[in-house]
Each structure stands twice: as structure tokens, then as C-alpha cells.
Amino acid sequence: MGLFILRRLGVMILTALCLTFIVFWLTNLAPNLEKLAKTQGNARMTDDAVVSWLENRGYSQPLPVKYGQWLGVLPGYVIEGSDGETRARCAGPGVALEDASTFCGILQGDWGFSTVFKADVSGIVATRLGLTGKLMFWVMMVMVPGALIIGVLAGMREGSRTDRSLSTVSIVSTATPEYVSGVVFISVFATATFGMNWFKGTATSAMEDATFENFFLPVITIALYGMGYIARMTRASMTEVMTAQYIRTARLKGVSFPTIVLKHALRNALIAPFTVIMLQFPWLLNGVVIVETLFNYKGFGWVLVQAAGNNDIELLLGVSVVSVFVVLITQLISDIGYVFLNPRIRIS
């Protein structure tokens, strides 16, 4: 078990390094840097000015060197610029050139400086993650119990009318991407078009003060898309368990149907959905970006869009590191959890 986790951690770190390097490479391509220079400096810069702007700020160094600096394994650059000013990677606003440390990268806890928000990346990511965490918490609170109940109800009597109608509901919900359900929900429940103006169409006010009125629509929009998928997986695992020998034995002994479902079947039927719920996180991240854009909720997904749209390299890297780690850690948890929950694997 220990070796298994160690090996997984090794693969995880390798994956994270590869992914961040790809993001680093894509954001540091010449046209992207030129765009950055023009948005940060002056939109009508000449080509020479762009080159010297980039050189003065350390963007013209070779890619592996830049990546090493960002990671914190190579010393940060100190460049005496063509305009006479000396700039160092580790000296930013508030840190004088003389006090700057030699290394400043992710490993030293320095996530860099966002060019769009003019603030430290770590601070932005932390606050926005908190907001998204609030959203995700409620999504989970709605999605997981809802999906499990639907799945178990549908799977306990395979082929029954309940099964067929609940399966149709879950197919419909998996077929509805967030940008469709969000648009439909807003126009039905947040405008006067259908006379059901019950909720708010934006969740901006929910950032400080989340109420049922302003938070329900974004939460249900994300939850619905994932719910159908988890419900179908739960149903599949439940139907499999219900045909198992020990369930038949219990029925033949005369155990009542509710007891069979709750005491005998449920425990074994919930192993597979656990993995599925954990693997849903990358998808949920997608949903978060769409829903936060649609409802104007300024969380992590919104920052991703802002960072990517403005080629804010260090913010984008911070965002990708966090999202990649969320994905990889949930994968790890789902693997370990599966081994841990499943007696057949745990004991052997």
C-alpha cells in the first residue's frame, strides 16, 4: 500500500511538471509575449521596443531557464535593462533590489505577480479558490445525495417503471451542458418571460452573502450535469449488486425488501460511485468556469478566463498548477479509496 501511494505520487509529480511545462511553453510563445508587451506597455510599440521591453523583463531568456526560475530551482534573473533600470525577478513591488533573494519560484512559495490584477498570484488564487470552494460545497451537497438516491431507487428494481423514468431523467441531465441549462434556468426562473421570476440571474452578490435566491441557480446548474452521470453509475452498480447471490439468499431467508436494499445492497453498491464522484472533479472544474462566467460569480473559473484571455502568464500558471493538482489529487484519492473500500482488493 505504501509503495503504491509512493509510486502514484511520483507519477503525479512527473505529470504536474510536464503539464506546467506545457502551459509555460504555450504562454511563452513569441506571439503571446508580443501581445503581453503591447497590453502591458504600449499598444503602438515598434518591434524594437517590444524586443527591448521583453529583454528588460527577463522574457527573452531561453525557455528552460525561465521555467527553472519560475519553479525556483534556478536563481532569478537580475537584468540591467537597456533603459538603465535594473530589474530582478525576485524584486517586485515592495521588495527592494538589494533585499531580493536569489531564488524565488513555486518551491519557495512565490507564485509571481499577476499583470492583470496587479496583485500577488498566491493571494488572488487563495481568495478565488475560497469563493469557488463555497460554490463547490453546495454543489456537492446537492449533487451527491441527489445522484445516489436517484441511482439507488432506479437500480433496486431493474426494468421497473421507476427505473425507466429515473433513467430517462438522468440521461436528460447528462445531455444538458451547463451553458444550456444555465441559459434555460435564467430565462425561465430569473426573467419575466414565463412569469416565474423567482431567483436572481447573477450570483455576484452571492460572493459576500449567499442566499437561496442568488445562489440556487448556479449551484443547481453545475449539480445537474454531474448528477445524471453519477446516478447512472450508481444504478449500474446497484443492479449488479441486486443480482448477486447473497441478495438472493437474503430474499429467500425472508428478509424484507427495504432491509435488503438498505442493509445488504447499499454498502457494496456505493463503492463504484465513490470513484466516479472523485473523478467528476475535472468535469466540475469545466462547469465551474462556464457557470461562473454565465452568472458573473468571480471565483476560480472566472480568474482562469481572465488570465487566459489576457495572457497573464504567472496567474495562468498558478491557476493551472492548482487545477492540475486538484485533478491529480482526486485521482489519487479515488484510487486509494477504491482499494481501501473494496474488501476483495484490500485483503489480497
Cβ atoms 295, 202 nearer than 8 A: yes
Q: How far apart are CA 55 and CA 274, in angstroms?
A: 50
Output 270 or 312, the one with its CB closest to another protein.
312
User: Cβ of residue 180: shortest distance to another protein, in angstroms?
Assistant: 4
Output 193 or 256, the one with its CB closest to another protein.
193
Output 97 or 183, the one with its CB closest to another protein.
183
What does the block give as the cell for 324? 492540475
Q: How far is CA 90 from CA 95, 111, 316, 317, in A?
A: 8, 11, 19, 17
Output 166 or 270, the one with its CB closest to another protein.
166
User: Cβ of residue 198: shortest distance to another protein, in angstroms?
Assistant: 14
Using the structure block, give the residue that is written with the C-alpha cell 495572457.
311
User: Cβ of residue 148: shortest distance to another protein, in angstroms?
Assistant: 20
Using the structure block, give the residue that is written with the C-alpha cell 480568474.
303
Q: Which residues contact 8 (CB under 8 A, 6 or more apart)?
A: 332, 335, 336
User: Cβ of residue 283: shortest distance to another protein, in angstroms?
Assistant: 9
Output 41 or 282, the one with its CB closest to another protein.
282
Q: How far apart are CA 101 and CA 66, in angstroms?
A: 16
Three-state DSSP at 72 gives coil
Residue 264 phi, psi dihedral angles, 5° rounding: -95, -45
Q: Which residues bind another protein (CB under 8 A)?
A: 11, 15, 18-19, 23, 26-27, 29-32, 34-35, 157, 161-162, 168, 171-172, 174-177, 179-180, 183-184, 186-188, 190-191, 193, 201-202, 282, 285-286, 289-290, 293-294, 301, 304-305, 308-309, 311, 319-320, 323-324, 327-328, 331
Quote the DSSP letter at residue 297. Answer: -
User: Cβ of residue 215: shortest distance to another protein, in angstroms?
Assistant: 17
Output 12 or 78, the one with its CB closest to another protein.
12
Three-state DSSP at 113 gives strand
Cβ atoms 42, 35 nearer than 8 A: no
User: Cβ of residue 179: shortest distance to another protein, in angstroms?
Assistant: 5
